[in-house]
A and B are shown apart, each in its own frame.
Chain A
Amino acid sequence: MLAPFLQYLISGITVGMVYAFSALGFSLIYNASGVVNFAQGEFIMLGGMLAVFFSKAGLPFPAAAVLAIVIPTLLGMMIERLTIARAKNAEILSLIIITIGISLVLRGLTQIFMGKAVHALAPISDSRPIHLAGAVMHSQSPWVLGFTVTVMAMLWYFFRHSLSGKKILATSCNRSAAQLMGINTQWVMTFSYAMAAALGSLAGVLITPITMTSYDVGIMLGLKGFIGAVVGGMGSGMGAIAGGLIVGIAESLGAGYISSAYKDAMAFLLIFVILFLRPRGLFGAKATDRV
């Protein structure tokens, strides 16, 4: 009785961490600009695809992974400079539509230059699964878990204790006031996109050994990450992680105990329930903060 439950839980946490990374990227950009960046899933895709691409080109894994994170990060900055910054006076909705356009372009270019095939990537350590009280875990899962915790800790420190982090927080609270205090809000925006892209591509590199990758994996990962971010409370780092995990676990338990036919519906059901009970999500900031 316990073993299957544990298995569902482990499956849910593994998938949930993927969603959590995606959700974190959504939250970062939402915080800095109020925009929901629908290109977030594409950064995850790019990270995975580039890691595969460089590994196949003969680079050792660490080098391939670094390149697979650095290139999307630069791309993220470039995208912000070339599109979002140029349309900064546009309404939020227009900016969101721009991000959808960016995601289409990234997906299309990847399809043209790296093909439509599905690719696998070898796990960081030994590929034998880990047995745990009757349940089984992918050998990559501890790595994903480890990196999630590390990145969370770093982000927490960054936002609490560094000047750059505080600048971002100030900008998210009130853009004009931050600008009046001498904060370069334009820089904050570029930096947020770079960070979101770096996080996304790191997630892509980490999860590809578990999930495999292709040019179109970004759509679903982005969508589930968005749900995770909303469930957890848009703009909250803690909420993004919790939301992602909750969506993953709910899906897994739903598939296990109810029916796998409703697996995707679980995520959407969750969004209804949470938004009904707590309209700002589990860890969402109070409305007054953004006035």
Chain B
Amino acid sequence: MLKGLSFLVILANIGLGLPALASEPIRIGSVLSVSGSAAFLGEPELKTLQLYIEKTNQNGGVLGRPLQLIHYDDGSDAGKANSFAKRLIDDDKVDILLGGTTTGSTMSMVPLAEKAEIPFISLAGGTVIIEPVKKWVFKTPHTDRMASEKVFTDMKSRGISKVALLSETSGFGQSGKKETEAVAGRFGITLVANETYGPKDTDVTAQLTKIRNTPEVEAVFVYGLGQGPAVVTNNYQQLAIGLPLYHAHGIGSEQFITLTGTASEGVRLPAAALLIADKLADSDPQKAVVTGYRKVYREAFQEDVSTFGGHAYDALMIALNAFAKAGVNDKAKVRDAIEQTKGYMGTGGAVTMSPTDHMGLDETAFRMLEIHNATWTLIK
């Protein structure tokens, strides 16, 4: 009894101590790939976090407390991500972890977050991050499986059923390949050719020739990220294959159009609304958030937004909403608040999480786009 009483007293003391801590910053820990091969993903992510944390602080912070970003660059190395996450948890004593630019980095941080019982919102695409559901781990980007599903839905509507898959040997491409193979049957699609290429390959004509010589092929689906898909698209035009060409969501940046020029005419891809912010109908519920984020980002950095920076924006907003709802001190409550995120409209789509869904996006998250006259156009 006495023991219980003294425990209550201690609790009360902690409670009393709180107001004094009110100006203590909320520590947001992030590990992103700002250099190395995934730098083009990590850089806009970090810029977005820094920009919005500064903005939030100018507006008085959250719960009257300023935000403090503690950031480490893993150099696109999953091993380093692990040791930085350890440092963030043990030494920097952060209140939440954001990041893991790549699926590899994220997965190396997952066990640490789970063990330390600290909320962790990932910015990477892999389905493996949220399946099976991990208690403390969430993510904001759409998964590779959703991209394949969106592409197959569009192919079906055009009466295409025999598809050649050309996937990148990177983590992104291989995870995409696995998911594509897994969902193809459900859409009545047969993969009649299944080729791969390396992310740094400078010529893919050999693989494309093989695909061209497979007689049944009705469309080609390329699953890659960054530079590789641009090489594929250029070679595709060079070989004059002429079949519909689909890409995954990994090419969602203006750079792709610059690199491919006329070769990208007619290319279709699933992408987040951010890419076509100004082409969305005014009635579109996502219009406000994507145009808003794009405007702020452009003003601050004089460069175009990418969907990747958008993932960081969404993660930060979901985290701040959870802090506002649950306070900062109880990590379990923050975790619950993230899991209860409902109807949050982000750059990636409407997010409604649940104990069985730690991403919370549905198929409306992706829009089907076609590149036409060197701009993105929305397919109805």
Docked-complex contact B240 and A212, CB < 8 angstroms:
no
Interface 0/1 of B170-197, CB less than 8 Å to A = 0000000000000000000000000111
Minimum distance in angstroms from A229 CB to a CB of chain B: 18
**Segment of B119-127, B225-233, B334-342 engaged in the interface with chain A:** B225-233
Given the known A-B contacts A4-B210, A15-B202, are A118 and B226 also in contact in the complex, defined by CB atoms under 8 Å?
yes
Q: How far is the CA of A52 from the CA of B325 in the complex (A)?
A: 51
Does B203 lie within 8 Å of A11, measured CB to CB?
yes
**Given the complex of chains A and B, what is the CA–CA distance between A129 and B230 in angstroms?**
17
Which residues of the other chain, B, contact A27 by a CB distance below 8 angstroms?
none
Residue B239 is within 8 A (CB to CB) of chain A in the complex: yes
- Give Cα A211–Cα B234 distance, bound, in whole angstroms: 10
Are B226 and A8 interface neighbours, CB within 8 A? no
How distant is the Cα of A212 from the Cα of B169 in the complex, in angstroms?
19
In contact, A136 and B200 (Cβ under 8 angstroms)? no
Tell me, yes or no, whether B37 is within 8 Å of chain A by CB.
Answer: yes
Contacts A136-B239, A261-B169 given; indicate if A11 touches B206 (C-beta within 8 A). Answer: yes
In angstroms, Cα B255 to Cα A261, docked, is 27
Q: Determine the chain A residues whose CB is within 8 A of the CB of B201 once the complex forms.
A: 263
Count residues on chain A whose CB falls below 8 Å from chain B CBs.
37
Taken together as a complex, chains A and B put the C-alpha atoms of A12 and B227 apart, in Å, by: 20
Given the known A-B contacts A116-B39, A117-B255, A118-B259, are A260 and B203 also in contact in the complex, defined by CB atoms under 8 Å? no
Pairwise interchain contact A120-B258, C-beta atoms closer than 8 A:
yes
Q: Once bound together, how far apart are the Cα atoms of A263 and B201, in whole Å?
A: 10
Across the interface, which residues of B come within 8 angstroms of A259, CB to CB? 195
Answer yes or no: A149 CB below 8 A from chain B CBs.
no
Residues in A with CB closer than 8 Å to B210 are 4, 255-256, 260
Q: Nearest chain A CB to B171's CB is how many angstroms away?
A: 15
Query: Given A117-B40, A214-B227, are A129 and B202 also a contact pair (CB < 8 Å)?
Result: no
Chain B residue with Cβ nearest A18: B202
Tell me the smallest distance from the CB of A69 to a CB of chain B, in Å: 20
Query: Is the C-beta of A111 less than 8 angstroms from some C-beta in chain B?
Result: yes
Cα distance A220–B169 in the bound complex, in angstroms: 15
In the assembled complex, which residues on chain B have CB atoms less than 8 Å from the CB atom of A260?
195-197, 206-207, 210
Q: Mask for A198-219, Cβ within 8 A of B = 1, else 0?
A: 0000000001001110101101
Q: Shortest beta-carbon distance, A258 to chain B, in Å?
A: 10
